[in-house]
Amino acid sequence: MGSLIGESDPFVKALRQISLLARCDATVLLSGETGTGKELAARAIHYLSARAGGPFIPVNCSALPETLLENELFGHTKGAYTDASLPQRGLIAEAESGTLFLDEIDGLSLTAQAKILRFLQEGEYRPLGGRQPLQADVRIVAATNANLVEKVKAGTFREDLYFRLYILSLSLPPLRERSEDIPLLAKYFLKKYCRRFRSDYKILSPAALMKLSSYAWPGNVRELEAVIQRAIVHSPVSLIQAEEIDLPHAENPPRRGYPFRTLKRRAIDTFEKSYLSQLLMTHRGNISRAAKEAGKDRRAFRRLMEKHGLIRQQFINAGQGDAQVI
């Protein structure tokens, strides 16, 4: 689980669910908006499971043409069609004793869905040109950013396949619901891309951090990663300013349903917690040094930590090592 970064309540809840799902060998359906880290969650489920010694094979279903589906998944025998001069194993065979991750499964046509359903029901498949069905010991983890229930009602997704997939499930939270994790994620991406771009290490100014923390993040963690890369390139000095944070959707108005004062208070609270978290990470939990950099006395800084539920111990080893993130 060290590859998953976050400390917010929704994220920690998702991590607990991942551990539970890994213990059972049933089919899993992951849901969540684009950029929330569904493939990383699928990998975590695989590597925490009894199948960790087997392969993890990801498949982007929406990028798989229907005419090639059977060949890609099930393989073919020699002579199965004109150009099949040699036999070829399919992705199901490649995933033997491991996990097959079917990403964007809602992108499959109804015909393709029927072929996946048959495999899920029987646990066996027939390569193109093959006469005998082959058994497969493979766990299926599927993912979607769509509402499959609505697609079933619309007749674009098979109900029987939905119930075959929806044995175990996990919904991953969008970044706007785990904004406390933005400093952790930003710090990781700064470290990763400063090294990759051969740049001096850079940090975010308080105003830049507040700008990140008050943004709605329609593209979630994937969008944050891109924003940090741009900021590293555009900032000529080590302290990244707010105007160097390029947010393409920032002009969108606040979500309706809340008065201005409520949204302002939420933005301030999010900024305070994010700023304190970044300082504590930078100073590895040293409250005196973090308070000094913030321009506050140690007692006032501790009161702010208590207000936002921050504990010194959780930052002592923060930021060590590289990781993939959701």
Q: What is the pLDDT of residue 246?
A: 92
Q: What is the mean pLDDT of residues 175-203?
A: 91
Contact 11, 187 (CB under 8 A): no
Is residue 168 domain-shared with residue 191, that is, in the same domain?
no
Position 251 confidence tier, pLDDT thresholds 50, 70, 90: low
Is residue 154 domain-shared with residue 222, that is, in the same domain?
no
Residue 160 lies in a domain: yes
Supply the pTM of this predicted model. 0.77
Structural domain count of the chain? 2
Q: What is the mean pLDDT of residues 14-27?
A: 95
Q: What is the pLDDT of residue 256?
A: 44
Is residue 22 domain-shared with residue 159, that is, in the same domain?
yes
Is residue 260 domain-shared with residue 213, that is, in the same domain?
yes
The half-sphere exposure of 291 on its side-chain side, counting CA atoms within 13 A, is 14
Q: What is the pLDDT of residue 312?
A: 84
Task: Please indicate whether residue 126 or residue 35 has the higher confidence score (pLDDT).
Answer: 35
Q: What tens digit of pLDDT does each residue of 80-129 get?
A: 676 776 778 889 999 999 999 999 999 998 988 998 999 999 888 888 77
Q: How would you classify the pairing of strands 124-125 and 203-204?
A: unpaired
Q: What range defines the domain where residue 130 resides?
A: 9-173
Is residue 13 domain-shared with residue 75, that is, in the same domain?
yes
Position 271 confidence tier, pLDDT thresholds 50, 70, 90: confident
Tally of CB atoms within 10 A around 94: 14
Q: Mean pLDDT, the chain, as a whole number? A: 87
What percent of the chain has a predicted confidence (pLDDT) above 90? 54
Is residue 40 domain-shared with residue 143, that is, in the same domain?
yes
Rg (CA), the chain: 23
CATH assignment at residue 286: 1.10.8.60
Domain termination residue (choose one: 149, 173, 197): 173
Q: Which residues, other chains included, contact 16 with Cβ-Cβ below 8 Å and sequence gap of 6+?
A: none
Write a three-state SS string for the chain: CCCCCCCCHHHHHHHHHHHHHHHCCCCEEEECCCCCCHHHHHHHHHHCCCCCCCCEEEEEHHHCCHHHHHHHHHEECCCCCCCCCCCEECHHHHCCCCEEEEECHHHCCHHHHHHHHHHHHHCEECCECCCCCEECCCEEEEEECCCHHHHHHHCCCCHHHHHHHECEEEECCCHHHCHHHHHHHHHHHHHHHHHHCCCCCCEECHHHHHHHHCCCCCCHHHHHHHHHHHHHHHCCCCEECHHHCCCCCCCCCCCCCCCHHHHHHHHHHHHHHHHHHHHHHHCCCCHHHHHHHHCCCHHHHHHHHHHCCCCHHHHCCCCCCCCCCC
Q: What is the pLDDT of residue 238?
A: 87
Is residue 162 domain-shared with residue 307, that is, in the same domain?
no
Q: What is the pLDDT of residue 99?
A: 98
pLDDT exceeds cutoff 60 at 258: no
Is residue 226 domain-shared with residue 291, that is, in the same domain?
yes
Q: What is the pLDDT of residue 261?
A: 67
Q: What is the mean pLDDT of residues 64-80?
A: 79
